[in-house]
Structure 1
Amino acid sequence: MFSNLTRLLPLSITIMVPSRGGTAGGGINSVKYSRLAESDEGYIDLQFKRTPPKVPYKAIALAVFLFLYPDRTIPVLIIGVLIFLPGFYHLRIAYYASKGYRGYSYDDIPDFDD
């Protein structure tokens, strides 16, 4: 159906698209398209290509700064340990109870609905 049309299309097309930035200088971005293969079966290689992840440098720097900030580090670590220990304890009991180990039961885990 489109075989005659694809012969007429050039190998690549450059389209000028106005940007959303609303700059006074015209702000035009160049978008490049390439010609599709004739037997693509509806798929192209570019749709499966993963873009590299964007590294959040500012967030990482802020996290390092807050972690190294002495007024905040010790209380946050203490609260983290106090929250981690009961969770680990209950998960350990639940794991051993699910595997059927002797001395472990789901009854040992407190029910917080009371």
Structure 2
Amino acid sequence: MLQRKYMYKYRPYTMSRRNGPPGPAPFNVKYEPLANHDGYIDLQFKRPPPRVPYKAIAMATVLFLLGSLLIVIGACLLTGVIDSKYSDRTWPVLTLGFLLFLPGSYHVRLAWLAWCGRPGYSYADIPDFDD
């Protein structure tokens, strides 16, 4: 028992986060009732303004431009403007162009409408990859 007291005597003093300061409970604290309301305030339902996802918008713009370029190249291959010896690359280039163009154009449109302030569109609709 003597050894146990010795251990706790030199232990650094720490305060618990949950329980408050050690010692007897203060009985002289006066409590006041809260104001008469239903427990909810307007501020708790207000959303903070969304951050502008610059990186996601830049990625969507790159997808949009690259997809557009591949669609134009594929159309030139298909119509024969570009030499016919490259005709075996026509459908893969067109497919890849459409696969890049569709999500890029969708997210660029969302960003444009959010920037214009259209009701129903927000920067929160664009997925942000910084999480």
TM-score by length of 2: 0.35
1 or 2, which has the higher strand percentage? Answer: 1
Q: Which structure has the higher relative contact order (CA within 8 Å, separation 6+)? A: 2
Larger radius of gyration: 2
